[in-house]
Chain A
């Protein structure tokens, strides 16, 4: 009976410790959101979304070009990184139990750990130097490079979690390997893959270093995708380190908008996927 009492007390203590740790991990998250919200909301007004940045000293102005620029950069990066990442993930999970698969997996993990500024230099050498101009596409190339390993590895993990019995059930019905992979396996794993894609988007949406010498930033509207383009993180960076109060206030507003954009992308895509698909675990 004595040990039972001791176990009960120990159990209570451990529960409390677990709760405390869970709470502690939330503290930084909540304080960042709260602080950015409090600081940013004050400088948010319609002008912020519709106006271009104004020169120093002139009050007002906004970040419309940077908001659109960030959306364009995210879109362009997704355009090439999502298909490549997913198809690569399919390869790793379905056909990757060999030397080539191991090599690709290892390379992807290494790429995932490469500092983003190094990827920026790579994109600079590959795109900016030959084209003799900073550009949106070089920025999207750098950002996509950062997305690919994340998307590829989550796709692989999610596909591997689809039980083999489902593949066999489909094959046993006389469904081809291709159809089985696309219509059964990929479809079953879709919510998990989407989570991976959203994580990758959230990560690149805030990347600044690789854009410094690729997208470069632009105080005006971009002329074309082969020209420098503004991006929120760049604008935030420039404004936040400036000595002007007005700019620093706008930097907070920019940070707030960036967080909202990431949140919206994540919310909308989950909602859209949820309409077409109900995850089996949610039933």
Chain B
């Protein structure tokens, strides 16, 4: 399997607090990699380092390497804007732009970067909404506000918004944390569909979810990566005692 993202000796800081400690991980292309672990273990911080979003928070620092297709995204001549276009992100709470219509929410990444051609935008918007399994539900109210949708629809709108800028990697930061079970299962189906085209990393609190959607799983604890391997192996035969304790619900 082709390798898409390689992280080596990654450390992340909030002020003087070291939130991630020497993380090493290789993320393979076109599969789903799940990051699990208790609250505050650095899962979200980790994926926010992959699209250079960690650094937009004041007083933060990153050291180490993150290679995207062999190139270090933290090298000084790399523009973080380019990186973020290649690596999309879906957040914990659906966050469509409240002042924009459904159409403009999806087109935002292109429009605000100067793309003006109407035909092209129409095509991308429809394609992205179709891929996010939302087109049929919104095609008749494409000019309604993005926040008029239900929570689950809003989250799929956010996914469509990501897809519109044609990323290679998709990062999901607990995408179902604020959704009901039906919306959750729709998002999970969608993730399984999307992995045909994209490399996916998903942070989740829900271990069943990790088991259902992912091929690889990494277990994080207190800023360290404890164990990383095939999901099946992590869940059935963990090598580390701490992973076993977490998975069997002894803490976390």
Binding site for B on A (CB under 8 A): 97, 163, 165-176, 179-180, 183-184, 187-188, 190, 277-278, 280, 283
A169 touches B91 (CB 8 A): yes
Rounded to whole angstroms, the CA-CA distance of A190 and B100 in the bound complex is 13
Contact with A along B151-187 (1 / 0, CB 8 A): 0000000100110010000000000000000000000
Rounded to whole angstroms, the CA-CA distance of A167 and B89 in the bound complex is 13
B95 touches A166 (CB 8 A): yes
Q: Does B148 contact A (CB under 8 A)?
A: yes
Contact with A along B102-131 (1 / 0, CB 8 A): 000000110011000000000000000000
Of B15-23, B77-85, B199-207, B231-239, the one with at least 4 CB within 8 A of chain A: B77-85
Apart from the given pairs A188-B98, A188-B99, A283-B147, 10 other A-B contacts in the complex at a CB distance below 8 Å = A163-B95, A166-B98, A168-B56, A170-B97, A170-B112, A173-B162, A173-B165, A174-B81, A174-B85, A175-B109
Say which size band chain B's interface belongs to.
20 to 34
Q: DSSP class of A's interface residues: helix, strand, loop or mixed?
A: helix
A278 touches B112 (CB 8 A): no
Among A163, A171, A190, A283, contact of B84 (Cβ-Cβ < 8 Å): A171
Among A97, A165, A277, contact of B95 (Cβ-Cβ < 8 Å): A165
Q: List 19 A-B contacts (CB under 8 A).
A: A97-B58, A163-B95, A166-B98, A167-B56, A168-B56, A170-B112, A172-B51, A173-B85, A173-B161, A174-B81, A174-B85, A174-B113, A179-B113, A180-B112, A183-B112, A184-B108, A188-B98, A280-B99, A280-B147
Rounded to whole angstroms, the CA-CA distance of A170 and B109 in the bound complex is 8
B residues in contact with A163, CB < 8 Å = 95
B residues in contact with A176, CB < 8 Å = 81, 113
B124 CB, min distance to chain A CBs, angstroms: 13
A159 CB, min distance to chain B CBs, angstroms: 14
Residue in chain A with minimal CB distance to B59: A97
A173 touches B84 (CB 8 A): yes
Rounded to whole angstroms, the CA-CA distance of A168 and B44 in the bound complex is 13
Q: Does B93 contact A (CB under 8 A)?
A: yes
A residues in contact with B158, CB < 8 Å = 169
B residues in contact with A97, CB < 8 Å = 58
Q: Does B60 contact A (CB under 8 A)?
A: no
A residues in contact with B97, CB < 8 Å = 166, 169-170, 184, 188
Q: Does B42 contact A (CB under 8 A)?
A: no
B residues in contact with A179, CB < 8 Å = 112-113
Q: Most chain-B Cβ atoms within 10 A of its Cβ — which of A166, A172, A187, A283? A: A172
Q: Does B26 contact A (CB under 8 A)?
A: no
A residues in contact with B81, CB < 8 Å = 174-176
A283 touches B148 (CB 8 A): yes
Which residues of B in the span 41-70 have a Cβ within 8 Å of any Cβ on A?
51, 53, 56, 58
Q: Does B88 contact A (CB under 8 A)?
A: yes
A283 touches B108 (CB 8 A): no
B residues in contact with A187, CB < 8 Å = 99
A81 CB, min distance to chain B CBs, angstroms: 25
Top 10 nearest A-B pairs (CB, nearest first) are A174-B85, A280-B98, A173-B109, A174-B84, A172-B89, A165-B95, A179-B112, A169-B95, A175-B112, A174-B81
Q: Does B145 contact A (CB under 8 A)?
A: yes
Which residues of B in the span 207-232 have a Cβ within 8 Å of any Cβ on A?
none
A100 CB, min distance to chain B CBs, angstroms: 15
Rounded to whole angstroms, the CA-CA distance of A184 and B100 in the bound complex is 9
B residues in contact with A175, CB < 8 Å = 81, 108-109, 112-113
B179 CB, min distance to chain A CBs, angstroms: 16
